[in-house]
Amino acid sequence: MTLASCQAILWLGVFFTFFGIASIFFNRRERKKYYDSILTRKDIKEYITHEPQQPWLSAWQIGGRISLILGVLLMIAGGVLWLAWY
């Protein structure tokens, strides 16, 4: 395995980690914006009970967590391979 391959794995890990963090923050912003817009409507029941659940609001959070886990694992694997081979 070459040094470039180890660095590629490491940089993919960094990319996925930053993407995961960004998508988690994006989820928080979108959820806040959605529920703040509900607050201005006359029917506040959905704001208080969060029923019905909005699956698209949770999608960014779930994707961000998966990306964050994969990114950390790739960074660890890239670092270990880099240290083991060089």
Which of these, 11, 26, 3, lies nearest to 75 by C-alpha position?
A: 11
**Sign for the pseudo-dihedral over CA of 28, 29, 34, 35:** positive
What pTM did the predictor assign?
0.76
pLDDT value for 53: 72
Q: How far apart are CA 71 and CA 62, in angstroms?
A: 14
Question: Phi/psi of residue 67, each to 5°?
Answer: -65, -40
Mean pLDDT (10-residue bins), the chain, 86 residues: 86 94 92 76 67 77 94 93 85
Q: How far apart are CA 56 and CA 28, in angstroms?
A: 12
pLDDT value for 45: 67
